Chain A
């Protein structure tokens, strides 16, 4: 089992540019989560999917953020346009069920917006 795979590992971009983060969940997991970690706010849930369908996106900070899951093995989190305050580590995680199954995290993408 390769675990949750995220790319890129690091991303540095200029304010105003579009950023796309990618995630491949563990095979067979039907829940996928996107989290953001900052020093000030800790780990925050942005959005989660069940069977490729977005269930709760109330954590998405604003319209500049969007997430998709076109199939069971791939998800993207897009920021357009990016701003310096978006700088954070973005984690993707997956589980085989909600609430009663352990969550497995990817290694994260460290985003720096200058």
Chain B
């Protein structure tokens, strides 16, 4: 099956700092999503981004499908950004999401 690698595995930031999370994948994809799992365990959709760039407030994401990676940018981080960020994708020709292991982010005040 498709391989999904996320980096870094852990990240600690001071409030106000910027960060970039990366997701590398091993095959072509039909669907790529970024999720935030907050400290209460909820999985929240951030972006549906099989290609291109999208922005939502302080967050933005870029997927370069031809080079098989996606980036999630967090600017001016806040303590509420803490949690685990998952990249999940659907391999072309398949139907189901495969999740990466996630990046655990801690934003300290």
Contact = CB atoms under 8 A, between A and B. Distances in A.
A102 B45 CA distance: 8
Interface string A32-57: 01000000001101001000000110
B28 to A, nearest CB: 12
A98 B95 contact: yes
Interface in B7-47: 30-31, 33, 35, 41-43, 45
Interface string A76-98: 00000000000001010000001
Contacts of B101: 42
Contacts of B41: 89, 107-108, 110
Contacts of A100: 30-31, 50, 90
A75 to B, nearest CB: 16
Q: Helix, strand, loop or mixed for chain B's interface?
A: strand
Interface in B70-98: 86, 88, 90, 94-97
B99 interface: yes
B48 A102 contact: yes
Interface residues of B, number: 20
A19 interface: no
Nearest to B98: A45
Nearest to B44: A105
B99 A101 contact: no
A68 interface: no
Contacts of A102: 31, 33, 45, 48
A29 interface: no
A48 to B, nearest CB: 6
A99 interface: yes
A97 to B, nearest CB: 9
Nearest to A56: B96
B39 to A, nearest CB: 13
A103 B30 CA distance: 13
Interface of B: 30-31, 33, 35, 41-43, 45, 48, 50, 86, 88, 90, 94-97, 99, 101-102
5 contacts: A43-B99, A56-B96, A98-B90, A103-B45, A103-B97
